[in-house]
């Protein structure tokens, strides 16, 4: 599979899986609106696909969501093949990723640094 076609198909699969998680999968471990597909790694021949997912509430919720996704993998595969008109849909492997939790942590750390270094805060304290 050519590089451009592989990249385009990866993005299409990511979009479809994200939509299925939001609309079609009824498992409460998955369908709470706080799960995101972070990235997709499609093999060169298109037969295997690693789907990295992350939950905003942390690693435990992400692991539970992966279990839910694995139990619904046949639905995801069937719906993805139908929507994208694929003759051969890849086998999906769902992998827990903590990138959203890590991003929130970094954002919080940056907010704390900005609050400490903000000169407007120190001048207001000195005047009062």
Tell me which residue of 95, 12, 89, 81 sits closest to 45, measured CA to CA. 89
Q: According to the model, what pLDDT value does residue 8 have?
A: 92
**What is the reported pTM?**
0.77
pLDDT-wise least confident of 92-96, 99-103, 107-111: 99-103
pLDDT single digits (tens) 25-84? 888 888 877 888 999 999 988 899 999 999 888 888 889 999 999 999 999 999 999 999
Q: According to the model, what pLDDT value does residue 87 have?
A: 87
Q: According to the model, what pLDDT value does residue 24 have?
A: 86
Q: Indicate if the pLDDT at residue 15 is higher than 70.
A: yes
Q: Where residue 127 falls among pLDDT bands split at 50, 70, 90?
A: low
Tell me the domain boundaries of the chain.
3-97, 99-128
CA atoms within 13 A on the CB side of 99: 11
Q: Are 78 and 25 in contact (CB under 8 A)?
A: no
Tell me which residue of 67, 69, 9, 64 sits closest to 40, measured CA to CA. 9
pLDDT single digits (tens) 30-45? 887 788 899 999 998 8
Q: According to the model, what pLDDT value does residue 121 have?
A: 56
To the question of domain 3-97 being in CATH 3.40.50.12280, the answer is no
Q: According to the model, what pLDDT value does residue 6 have?
A: 87
- Name the DSSP letter for residue 33: S
């Amino acid at each position: 599979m050519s590089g451009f076609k592989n990249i385009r198909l990866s993005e299409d699969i990511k979009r479809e899986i994200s939509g299925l998680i939001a609309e079609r999968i009824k498992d409460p471990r998955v369908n709470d609106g706080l799960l995101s597909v972070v990235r997709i790694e499609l093999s060169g021949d298109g037969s295997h696909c690693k789907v990295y997912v992350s939950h905003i509430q942390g690693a435990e919720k992400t692991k539970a969501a992966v279990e839910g996704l694995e139990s619904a993998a046949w639905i995801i595969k069937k719906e993805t093949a139908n929507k994208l008109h694929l003759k051969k849909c890849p086998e999906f492997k769902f992998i827990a990723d903590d990138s959203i939790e890590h991003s929130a942590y970094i954002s919080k750390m940056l907010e704390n640094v900005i609050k400490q270094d903000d000169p407007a805060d120190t001048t207001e304290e000195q005047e009062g």
